[in-house]
Structures are given as C-alpha cells and as structure tokens.
Amino acid sequence: MFKNMRRWLSVLVAVFLAAALTAGCGGKQDQKKEEPKADKKFVNIATGGTAGVYYPLGGAIAEILNKNIPGVNATAQSTGASVANINALKDGSAQVAFVQNDIAFYAANGTEMFKDKKVDGLKGLASLYPETIQIVTLEKTGIKDVAGMKGKRVAVGAAGSGTEANARQILEAYGITYKDIKAQYLSFAEAANNLKDGNIDAAFVTAGFPTAAIQDIAAQHKIVLIPVSGDSADRLMKQYPFYTKVTIPARTYTNQDTDVAAVAVQSMLAVTDKMDAQMAYDITKAIFGNLDRLQAAHAVGKMITKASARNGMSIPLHPGAEKFFKE
C-alpha cells in the first residue's frame, strides 16, 4: 500500500514539475505578470438606470479602479438603484454601491422599507453630491403642483429605487397616497419615454441634475418642474431629516425659464465590513486622486471633493476610508 502511494506521489510530483516548467517557460517576467491574476479582486459596482447619474459615474469609477489598483477587476452594473443596491451589497453580488444617504440610514437602522430587515455591517466610503427630487411633467398636462397629480398616472421610480421612497414621502407630505394616483414603477429612461409618448402624466426623478432622462424629455417637449416648497416641504423635512432645501436653477433644462424650489438628499458610496481596510483605503484614494475623470463623466463630478466627502454621511465610515480622509 505504501509502495503504491509512493508511486502515486512521484507521478504527482512529476506532473506538478512539468506544469511548473511549462508555466516558467516565458521567463521571470511572465511569472511576475501572472502573480496578481492569482488573487484578482473582483469589485462589482452597483449603480442605477442607464439614464441616471450613478451609471456614468460608476463606469468612470470602475475605470479608475482598474487603472490604479493592481489586481483589481472592477465592473459597473446597471440596477434598480439605492434599495436594490443595498440588497446587492448584502447578498455579496456587489462590493461597492451607489446609494442615497436616506436609504443607507434606513437599511443600517432597520426602518422604513428595511423595517425588520436591518442590514448589518454597512459602511460608508464617501459622500458624493446632492440628488434632487425632480418632479417633471409636460406643460400640456396642465399639472402645476403636487396636488394636481391626484388621479394622474405618475412614474414613481423603478422598483427598488430610492426615488420611489422619495415619491411616497413627498406625496404623503401633501396628503396624497398611492391610492390617489396611478403609480407606475419605471426606470428614468422608461419614465422619459412614457412621458414623451403621453402614456404617463408626471415622473419623479431623484438624481443629480441635469439628469439625462429629463434632458431627453426637454429636448422634445416643453417641460414643467413641479415645486416642493412651503409648509409641505417643512413637514417633510421634520419627519424625514435627510431632506434639505435646494433650488433647481433656471435653464438647467431647455426652456425651463424659472428657478424651481425642491428638496434633495445626498448620494454616497457604501460597502460592507467584509471589505478589508486596505481595499477600502485603496478605492477611496484612487477615486479622490482621479476626480477629473468623474468631472468628465458628469457635471455633478465637480461637487465631489475630499473636503465634503463626510458631509451628510448617514452610516459609520469604513475604517479604510476614514484613514484616507484623515491624511
């Protein structure tokens, strides 16, 4: 029996040696190049719909990581956005996620749509830029305010989006529920197409502006942005403290002639505590060392800075990111 085993062992060793020799043929340099491949680190970045802002920024971040962190293979994936992205972090199908700071807070604390579904171990990498809740309609619908949406077909965001939560909360602040409207769960691109075709009357879009989906509608129709202001905005902010007041300046979109009062939340990048400190540090450093690339990807890129990267952070920072910000 021992003899047999020895023979097997020597065969194994011979095979192993042969394999090693073949692999070694290319010389030392090749061997060096092969090394990082052995432990390629896959980083899938969960973004949002293709007509939003997360998606182009996510693509830019994937490029930055691939270029700057040896051994990393980063990809950006189109998704239903914030809520879906948190679930992707939880089940391990994404390692980095774009999320709204309100949604990250609900997930980390088990409230709102995460009631009884608290997500443990969520960590922040960086706070990015304001995302404004833009309510868009066509001038020809005659809808001028939130109250005017009663009975109408309204796109409230994709299923699993943060937009959808914002739509519900804003309508509620105006005393309107989904029972009073015909809610449609559509991505920004679907909402834009349906609004242009007259299949829906208004759409909620929570994203940095200008948002591609709204630019697309405004290129063909006179749009109206419905304001969120006054007592209702105050009521909203009292109940959900992540909202802040902002103005969508005139001419953000074609033929939009006046400033529009609105509310905004903050976008951020989230990871989990399964990511080690070195990786979180490397990712944060690579992003903030290549902000020009984000600026090229979208106008909101200019609002992403190291100085503001902890503002509005609603969950604990990952220690690796924290180390970078302290430098």
Applying CB under 6 A, which residues contact ligand GLU?
Answer: 48-49, 52-54, 81-82, 100, 131, 157, 161-163, 206-207
Which CB, 50 or 73, lies closer to ligand GLU?
Answer: 50
**Residues in CB range of 8: below 8 A, 6 or more apart:** none
Which CB, 72 or 294, lies closer to ligand GLU?
Answer: 294
CA distance 297 to 53: 9
Please say whether the beta carbons of 197 and 263 come within 8 A: no
CA distance 267 to 53: 10
Return the axis-axis angle of helices 101-109 and 82-90, rounded to nearest 10°.
40
Residue 231: CB minimum distance to ligand GLU, A: 25
Which CB, 106 or 324, lies closer to ligand GLU?
Answer: 106
Which CB, 73 or 295, lies closer to ligand GLU?
Answer: 295
Which CB, 69 or 167, lies closer to ligand GLU?
Answer: 167
Token pair, residue 72, equals 């990393």
Q: How does strand 260-272 pair with strand 96-100?
A: antiparallel
Residue 282: CB minimum distance to ligand GLU, A: 25
- Residue 254 exposed, middle or buried by CB count within 10 Å (0-12, 13-18, 19+): middle
- Residue 235, Cβ neighbours under 10 Å: how many? 14
Residue 318: CB minimum distance to ligand GLU, A: 20
Residue 29: CB minimum distance to ligand GLU, A: 43
Residue 12: CB minimum distance to ligand GLU, A: 53
The partner residues of 264 in beta bridges, in order of sequence, read: 132, 244
Residue nearest to ligand GLU (CB): 52
Residue 43: CB minimum distance to ligand GLU, A: 19
The partner residues of 265 in beta bridges, in order of sequence, read: 131
Nearest alpha carbon to residue 52 among 215, 211, 248: 211
Which CB, 157 or 210, lies closer to ligand GLU?
Answer: 157
Which CB, 86 or 138, lies closer to ligand GLU?
Answer: 86
Residue 76: CB minimum distance to ligand GLU, A: 12
Please say whether the beta carbons of 313 and 120 come within 8 A: no
- Residue 266, Cβ neighbours under 10 Å: how many? 21
- Residue 15, Cβ neighbours under 10 Å: how many? 10
